[in-house]
Amino acid sequence: MDPRTFIRPADIPIARLPLVGEPAPDPPGPPWESGGQVICFLRHAGCPFAEATIKDLAARHRQDPTITAVAVGHSSQSDAGTWRSKIGGADGVVCIDDPTRHTYARWGLGLTNVGHFAGRQSLSGVGKLLGQGVRNRHPSGTRWQGAGAFAVDGRGIIRWMHVPKNAADLPGLVAAFAALKGR
């Protein structure tokens, strides 16, 4: 385990969190496309919640490949690539590595507090995922960075969003994909 993931990183300026119905910040990956994009900003590489999210994102994308699936992480490209290859299941997902966390900041996602990732609900969530074969792996990045998910239509308008209350509060990606289909 890398104890540096527990050291709170320096604060960077964070933009206002965009809301449903508003224009999204610039896309972190490919330009807006007609089918839209579901963008998941992940916790650190090695985090079981990040693993569960990216696997769910890939599964939803396989069911509806007209919607672009984007995962943004803040580990180095090397560490993130190693982590993704170990967990598998990210096929078809556009993966963006942002170790500066500036993409997170542009989308209004800043640092959390210790209770967010080490509180009772988050630790209980780790136990539930362990029963599904998802576990903590060698961490890279910072445990303090907040996650978030957005569904953005082909015109760049946010149609759905989820900002977790704690690390175990995973996004309901069925609703994210449905929001881009007008359901």
- What pLDDT is stored for residue 36 in this prediction? 96
Query: Which residues are within 8 A (CB) of 54 and not within 5 positions of it... i.e. 6 or more apart?
Result: 40, 42, 71, 84, 87, 89, 90, 93
- What pLDDT is stored for residue 142 in this prediction? 84
Q: Which amino acid, one-letter code, is at 40?
A: C
**Which structure tokens are listed for 160?**
């759905």
Query: Under DSSP, is residue 84 helix (H, G, I), strand (E, B) or coil?
Result: helix
**Which structure tokens are listed for 149?**
């998910």
- Tens digit of each residue's pLDDT (9 = 90 or more) over 111-158: 887 666 666 766 566 667 767 776 677 777 788 899 999 999 999 999
- Which residue has tokens 């792996």? 137
- What pLDDT is stored for residue 93 in this prediction? 96
- What pLDDT is stored for residue 120 in this prediction? 73
Query: Under DSSP, is residue 69 helix (H, G, I), strand (E, B) or coil?
Result: strand
**pLDDT < 70 regions, the chain:** 1-5, 114-119, 121-127, 130, 134-135, 183
11, burial (CB in 10 Å: exposed 0-12, middle 13-18, buried 19+): exposed
Give the sheet arrangement for strand 94-97, strand by strand: 94-97, 68-73, 37-41, 148-152, 158-162
- Domains in the chain: ranges and CATH: 36-180 (3.40.30.10)
